Structure 1
């Protein structure tokens, strides 16, 4: 049991909850954070929401959970950031921090002497992840994306960390969990560099903040906190038994242009099926995309406008 739980400028005694802002190194950027120091001994769980400022359901769910969780029912500690990317949230920006146009999700473990995105990643890595036993980075389809609820787990960490991450994933009410081989993401960096079982969860999208998505997110997080014996609450039975995806394709635009998508998130597709096409501004087809194998669509861009190297579709082979 920690008599006093300290995160940067915030501190909470046993059985206390504290809310406030923490500073990002020598900048004017601040992140809203809630720390809960439980009444009993237990693990520490870190939850970050809003790494991408336009992914609204996860942010609202985090804000509500931070307000509603009773420290007296907590064993251990809970850290909730809501949101991480305040600049992107205020500016309604998709994916990036507007000051440096970088995606925080792609710059971990960060750099204390880098740009603002790299400094945010550095603080999360060295001030927040450093104190965590488990980590949940909660996301959703961005302003321009629709998606099927699913989870990513780290595929390149130690075997025990991968297994613990998969066990957490099975507590969520989603149909698929997907192996990730990235090394510079929020959750993969935590798993690989700090041996923390970690997940990235996706739910919601299209710039909407649907109450049903917020409700499902809260239900999922309460479930996993209960499974980890961090929160005393009833475990809700899941509708899905998640299936594993070990191979996924992430299509990116080869050129700027106008995007038409022929498939939807959650749709099962066949090898060779036409997924979409990009035209120039005169309606001439410049790129056409086909499925490499039978799979399920995890997410797709719904925007008509796309730029070179921007995301179009992700699909995964079902094991």
Structure 2
């Protein structure tokens, strides 16, 4: 089934075009309405196509700011190739500042490869899978921890079953120049955008560049400089005149035992900081129940050793919430 999303923009036209994708969406206030999703295309020469997305989760902002500025400022004459830029891919979620779409309650990064006749979020995932991925040589989806998590800033690759594809993705990640590179060797869900792009044999990067539902100045700087380095690595722009960045610390997430989940409801007191190296059995934090002060705090422990790369941001947690996860050093 073909996509129902349409745009007047031409993916093959040279120059810079800025407009929208239009997703038909009939509701009470607008019988023949559309959900509009900002889209930019910048093309010149014969170089590769780089697909850039942010706002897959609407409460993650560094990528949205970086791609908005890139699209606004870039001169088509300065590039060799094509940029396809969607600064707020899940536009309803981004406009609401929410992780999931307020239209259908679906998490876009748990909706791939999508459904052209499904809910709006499923239709967006299908458009990316069926229209944009076939145009792309390289894909980067920019994330942050959103409202619920804080992250050390890293660029990431997701392990596939194709060693050559993984090697090219890792080379691109090293060129990006973030302080950390994380390899997702384990994923709790196969419906991610980078999992789908792996299936389509596209060189793919992700990354988490902040958290807490704010705009990290450090994270934004890493993203903006990293995108320039990535384009230079791909031959889309001239080599950068800069001192090479310090080689990244390379880590990986190998399994479910890298995660710590709340064992009840209450206020979670963390006992470790981002960037700490922790040991298996070490106490991650204590869960307190102010509703019942006589109840002892529930200790939570790390199941394995590693680097604390992610921690829950809000103090209140419910049973099953992720309160922390680790990454372990990766052998080159």
TM-score, length-scaled by structure 2 = 0.86
Task: Write the distance in 1 (CA, Å) between the matches of 2:43 and 2:208.
Answer: 27
Give secondary structure in 2 for the equivalent of 1:51: coil
- The aligned counterpart of 2:160 is 156
- The aligned counterpart of 1:43 is 48
Specify which structure has the higher proportion of strand: 1
Flag the 1:216–1:178 CA change in 2: closer, same or farther, 3 A: same
- The aligned counterpart of 2:221 is 215
Task: Write the distance in 1 (CA, Å) between the matches of 2:166 and 2:24.
Answer: 32
1:234-253 matches, cutoff 5 A? 234=240, 236=242, 237-247=244-254, 249-253=258-262
Task: Write the distance in 2 (CA, Å) between the matches of 1:286 and 1:227.
Answer: 51
**Could you tell which deviates more after superposition, 203-212 or 51-60?**
203-212
Task: Write the distance in 2 (CA, Å) between the matches of 1:42 and 1:239.
Answer: 28
- The aligned counterpart of 1:20 is 19
Query: What is the aligned-residue RMSD (CA, Å)?
Result: 2.1
**Could you tell which deviates more after superposition, 72-81 or 257-266?**
257-266
| CA deviation map 1:11-36 (0-9, x unaligned) | 26654010111013556322111111
Matching residue within 187, 196, 206 for 1:189: 196
State yes or no: 1:299 paired with 2:310. Answer: yes
Matching residue within 73, 76, 82 for 1:71: 76
| CA deviation map 1:119-155 (0-9, x unaligned) | 1211111121121010000011212321101233121
- The aligned counterpart of 1:313 is 324
Could you tell me whether the CA contact under 8 Å between 2:253 and 2:326 is conserved in 1? no
Give secondary structure in 2 for the equivalent of 1:10: coil
Length, aligned pairs only: 310
Unaligned runs of 5+ in 2: 1-5, 27-33
- The aligned counterpart of 2:96 is 91
Matching residue within 266, 270, 276 for 1:261: 270
Matching residue within 174, 177, 180 for 1:175: 180
**Could you tell which deviates more after superposition, 59-68 or 283-292?**
283-292
- The aligned counterpart of 1:282 is 292
Matching residue within 209, 213, 237 for 1:203: 209
Structure number, greater radius of gyration: 2
Task: Write the distance in 2 (CA, Å) between the matches of 1:315 and 1:258.
Answer: 21
Displacement of 1:170 in angstroms is 0.6
**Could you tell which deviates more after superposition, 28-37 or 281-290?**
281-290
